[in-house]
Amino acid sequence: MSKLFFSIVVLLFSIAVVAQQRPNNFESGYRGKSIPGLKSLKDGLNFLVIGDWGRNGEYFQKEVAEQLGYAANQVDAEFIVTTGDNFYPNGVRSVNDPQWETSFEHIYKAHALQVNWFITLGNHDYRGNPDAQIQYSGISRRWNLPARYYSKTFSIDDDTTNQVLMIFIDTDPFVKKYYTEEVYKEEVRKQDTAAQKAWINSVLQNRSSSIKWTIVVGHHPLYTGGKRLKSADTKDILYSFGPLLEQNKVDAYICGHEHNLQYIKPSASYTHFFVSGSGSEARQDAQIHPNGGRAAINDHGFMSFSFTATQFLMQVVNGQGKVLYSTQNKK
């Protein structure tokens, strides 16, 4: 009898210890995992950034998507940002294309990922029908691509006097070689780059005093330590947008295109540059950029951002749920 009583006491104690070790939100019904070391700033605006991802679940897309869901729950992400190349290899053909299901809806199915996704177009999206991705915004509750370029303002902790302005741009028609390449030329020749730049300038020059941070999101990098370090398309984008970002004191430029994860802060630049382009396939060619490179990670993954009115936190998470890099910067 005494042995039975002792066994029951030990069992109850063990259950109590396990209960204390569970995530704080376990009692609410969450049964997913947490990512050690992943955090957010108190009362911050939290969001995740993923790029170059749509491969029917292959090339570790499913694994990254799983960790993206865990991260979204853990930091209470308000939305997801994509940096383009949403569907490989040739975009989508229509709103009924099978890839909507096989590369998006059935992959990013975690409850915490049923938030707004703000979309950017990449060059592989231009190989299909980019307008279909705009039209899908009228079908999907979470897919947001109202036009090829657009802006959105977010309040930090619901405070309309402290806001983040995000400008989503279409960099594809600014790459000169696309105008002669068969897979791109038809779509890029339809675009008015002068009109887009005029619109960007107008948005930047008419910011309200409530805007504490300005972030531009595009597909192609201005700076990269990857294989496109000295490529013509990188030079095209730097020429087109470098002066514009500096003159208007844009705080951050976030992009994809390179299949890795990078952070670059050039010595003479006001702007922080982030590359998040390994939502599925990852390449092994990124090195620390010679001018202000701070991180170059050749792994599958995504970035987590947290902004308050005075500082931001960025963390890199890989497809195995490990925080590989973290940086915190003041305004």
CATH code for position 90: 3.60.21.10
Q: Is residue 4 included in any domain, yes or no?
A: no
- Provide mean pLDDT across the span 143-154: 98
Output the pLDDT for position 30: 82
Q: Is the pLDDT reported for residue 26 higher than 60?
A: no
The residues that bridge with 123 in the sheet, in sequence order, are none
Share of the chain above pLDDT 70, in %: 92
Q: Is residue 18 included in any domain, yes or no?
A: no
Q: Is the pLDDT reported for residue 94 higher than 90?
A: yes
Nearest to 82 by CA among 133, 22, 157: 133
- Provide mean pLDDT across the span 173-196: 98
- Provide mean pLDDT across the span 30-47: 94
- Provide mean pLDDT across the span 52-77: 98
Q: Is residue 5 included in any domain, yes or no?
A: no
Question: pLDDT digits over 204-262, tens only?
Answer: 999 999 999 999 999 999 999 999 999 999 999 999 999 999 999 999 999 999 999 99
Confidence of residue 22 (pLDDT cuts 50, 70, 90): very low
Q: Is residue 125 included in any domain, yes or no?
A: yes
Output the pLDDT for position 32: 83
Output the pLDDT for position 31: 78
Say if CB 255 and CB 279 are below 8 A apart: no
Question: pLDDT digits over 128-141, tens only?
Answer: 999 999 999 999 99
CA 275 – CA 266 distance, rounded (Å): 14
Q: Is residue 194 included in any domain, yes or no?
A: yes
Average pLDDT, the chain: 93
- Provide mean pLDDT across the span 75-96: 98
Output the pLDDT for position 14: 38
| pTM of the predicted protein model | 0.91
Output the pLDDT for position 52: 98
CA 15 – CA 4 distance, rounded (Å): 17
Q: Angle, nearest 10°, between helix axes 193-205 and 232-247? A: 30
Q: Is the pLDDT reported for residue 74 higher than 80?
A: yes
Q: Higher model confidence: residue 10 or residue 96?
A: 96
Q: Is residue 298 included in any domain, yes or no?
A: yes
Domain count of the fold of the chain: 1
Residues 6 or more apart in contact with residue 49 via CB below 8 angstroms: 80, 81, 82, 83, 254, 274, 276, 302, 303, 304, 305
Classify residue 108 as left (phi > 0), alpha (psi -120 to 50) or beta. Answer: beta
Output the pLDDT for position 1: 47
Q: Which range of residues forms the domain containing residue 155?
A: 32-330
For residue 144, give Cα distances in angstroms to 90, 119, 138, 150. 20, 6, 9, 10
Q: Is residue 8 included in any domain, yes or no?
A: no
Q: Is the pLDDT reported for residue 7 higher than 70?
A: no
- Provide mean pLDDT across the span 148-171: 98
Confidence of residue 28 (pLDDT cuts 50, 70, 90): low
Q: Is residue 21 included in any domain, yes or no?
A: no
